[in-house]
Amino acid sequence: MYIGVGAMNITYPFDIKNSDYEEWLEHNPFVFESEVAAIRKMIPEGDQPRGLEIGLETGHFARVLKIKETLDAKIYFHNPSINRNITSLIKEPEKLPYQDLSFDYILITWHLNNLNDLNFVFKEALRVLKNKGALIIGFIDSNRSIIKYLDFDKINPIPLTKTKLHSVDKIVYELIQVGFHHFNFCQTLFKPIEEITEQEPVKSGYGEGSFVVIQAQKIIQLNSRYNSQN
């Protein structure tokens, strides 16, 4: 069950209600399923890897992907479901409330567009990831020609016209700056929203689909202060 919420240097120029998101899911189930399929492809395999989602919204990604630990970016829940069995922690803003080398993977999705300091957030993700762990980022690519004919406010219940979209190159650059390596890419959502009547395919790479998922790995160098622990 939810035990609280935390913030992480995020600014929201809007509010989103749980009921709004539920209605959006009802009308756009295949968009959500396509995004889930793309993200799932990037989650590390293994015996129950420990994952964290930063920016829970309503908990649907965490629930479907079986991510049990989350860090909320904003209080959205007036009546949170007790059946989702997801723990959300409340701690000081910005700094992730976890020890070094805590997680096998971290997921950031729609909240990426509202992070004020990507460098800081990515550094914190690097710190709490285990060696060979992965940061997984799912987002709308601002640098695609598909943006000309897709209504992004329909793709996502969070009004993206009021947020800052990022290109793949921008995100990769920021990840490299803090020390991430070995990038993998996949993409989905290739049609206008009104034409998506079944789950969209997931393709490797990026440049065609409007929703891109990046997997960036943490590879520790020999002089790292983490070596003795992992």
Q: Which residues of 180-194 are buried (b: 16+ CB within 10 A; e: fewer)?
A: beeeebbbbbbbebe
* pLDDT score for 144: 60
Fold adopted by 18-218: Rossmann fold (3.40.50)
Question: pTM for the whole thing?
Answer: 0.79
**What residues pair up with 54 in beta bridges, in sequence order?**
71, 108
Distance from C-alpha of 81 to C-alpha of 79, rounded to nearest angstrom: 6
Residue 146 above 60 pLDDT?
A: no
Domain ranges for the chain, please list them. 18-218
* pLDDT score for 12: 39
Of the listed ranges 9-13, 130-134, 155-159, 179-183, the least confidently predicted one is 9-13
The predicted-structure confidence for 85-129, as pLDDT tens digits, reads as follows 455 554 433 577 889 999 999 999 877 776 778 888 899 999 999
pLDDT band for position 188 (cuts 50, 70, 90)? very high
